[in-house]
Structure 1
């Protein structure tokens, strides 16, 4: 693999032939020193103490850094994509933030993806947006106490239900509302698959929001496979990220039943 660029592996979508807690070690064996995860307990905002400990211990035992973690997002396998904007689930979300803080204290993770949540029938969009900002401000204070950053992500249309954030501009509107509410530590999660799938102009978005990009995830589009399986020019993308001054990790968040990282040799800095 290419050691000159800072990579991370999303262990919720890669190495899926293994149990979740064996994946950090698989990432280490593949040559990576950093991993990220979606919320490890779908539909469970507060896992048991033993489950929480086992997750952190698996990362420690593997000798990798946890550099990204999704905040509790409901039951993602069942189709949910966040509870941030659901007025009926504010207590559930806030309870999960305490778990996030404990994981951060133990692992050192500092970047947290806050999935917005889908539009709900019978609840005004304006009310959902108000609740989302309040929950973002709450979570931002909690993680900001130790230097953490919240991330807001657009998701691909047609694959994620009535998720209202589809473009970088959509996500940045939420970022700005959160900042206006006092949550200065909220940034954009720049995911190539979701942006390209929705027809966003990736180069324009990257240049326009360069100072606001808190994290980058990659997958090719269409298909959400590894680079080279779709139509994205990753050589041009990486050059663009270098040009705009992005110096953070690039996380591999793509599906690959038999993980093959040979493509990385073509993208040395």
Structure 2
């Protein structure tokens, strides 16, 4: 299993462009972050290359703050054109950054719209997006956001995300298993890993309930990583947590859980 650093959450003590080198120096081989779009892809590519890092994942674009599409538009009825324009932009960035995973953000259910209608919009938009993605080797993932964090999300149960992936039946579509959100959205993490194993194309980790690094909360992460190993998961695991101290001080959990780092790296 390979750990990558989510640069929205980690190394925030530094300017964004400095986080790439900091992640590499801390032993990470890959990075992810949700919103590359404020930067030219060529600049991001240079920061990756200079640090020897792999771009793992990006998100589809979000809309204006406070709008139903702030956290995505795929499951927002009436925003189909916004989704299509944004998705084509994300495909372009993914190709130029060599990112192999796009998190398709569902967005919030607008007032007066049923969850059933939002789900139908999500399926329709994903079907179109898969057609656009077919020539590439990029995979799309759906993430369920727990209702404590975002009460109005169009997609709030990971089993629903897997049902959509099964219905669309494409090897380029699966689920993002965010351990924090799964715990907050009903728990039973190990059983759900087993049940959803064939659909898991990306994993993100943070502890619950405060969303700090693994080992600071209620989740038995040694068992989580053991279960991921049992199902044969060999893709990236994104570190998407708020460090309880500084980023470097928070990284000790990797050694505690016996997770290796790259080559000759700095001690933390």
> In 2, Cα distance between the equivalents of 1:186 and 1:76?
28
Q: What RMSD over aligned residues (CA atoms) do the two structures have, in Å? A: 2.1
Paired position in structure 2 for 1:157: 147
2:208–2:218 Cα contact (<8 Å) kept: yes
Unaligned runs of 5+ in 1: 42-46
What number of residue pairs does the alignment pair up? 255
- Pair 1:178 & 2:168 matched: yes
Paired position in structure 2 for 1:194: 181
Q: 1:32 to 1:76 in 2, by over 3 A?
A: farther
Q: CA deviation at 1:174?
A: 2.5
Q: CA deviation at 1:184?
A: 4.1
Unaligned runs of 5+ in 2: 260-268
Select the residue among 14, 17, 40 that pairs with 2:36.
40
Paired position in structure 2 for 1:134: 124
2:41–2:96 Cα contact (<8 Å) kept: no
The range that moved more, 24-33 or 215-224, is 24-33
Paired position in structure 1 for 2:99: 109
> In 2, Cα distance between the equivalents of 1:265 and 1:133?
41
> In 2, Cα distance between the equivalents of 1:216 and 1:76?
26
> Which ranges of 4 or more aligned residues in structure 1 deviate by more than 4 Å?
75-79
Paired position in structure 1 for 2:264: none
- Pair 1:23 & 2:24 matched: no
Select the residue among 58, 68, 91 that pairs with 2:47.
58
Q: 1:140 to 1:237 in 2, by over 3 A?
A: same
> In 2, Cα distance between the equivalents of 1:171 and 1:17?
34
2:59–2:90 Cα contact (<8 Å) kept: no
2:142–2:175 Cα contact (<8 Å) kept: yes
Q: 1:119 to 1:83 in 2, by over 3 A?
A: same
Q: CA deviation at 1:211?
A: 1.1
> In 2, Cα distance between the equivalents of 1:242 and 1:70?
26
Q: CA deviation at 1:237?
A: 0.7
The range that moved more, 150-159 or 127-136, is 127-136
CA deviation vs aligned residue, 1:169-215 (integer Å, no higher than 9, x gap): 12212223433xxx442101111100101223111111111111111
2:44–2:97 Cα contact (<8 Å) kept: no
Select the residue among 215, 232, 239 that pairs with 2:219.
232
> In 1, Cα distance between the equivalents of 2:256 and 2:98?
31
Q: TM-score, normalised by structure 1?
A: 0.87
Q: 1:58 to 1:76 in 2, by over 3 A?
A: farther
Q: 1:77 to 1:10 in 2, by over 3 A?
A: farther
Q: TM-score, normalised by structure 2?
A: 0.87
- Pair 1:8 & 2:4 matched: yes
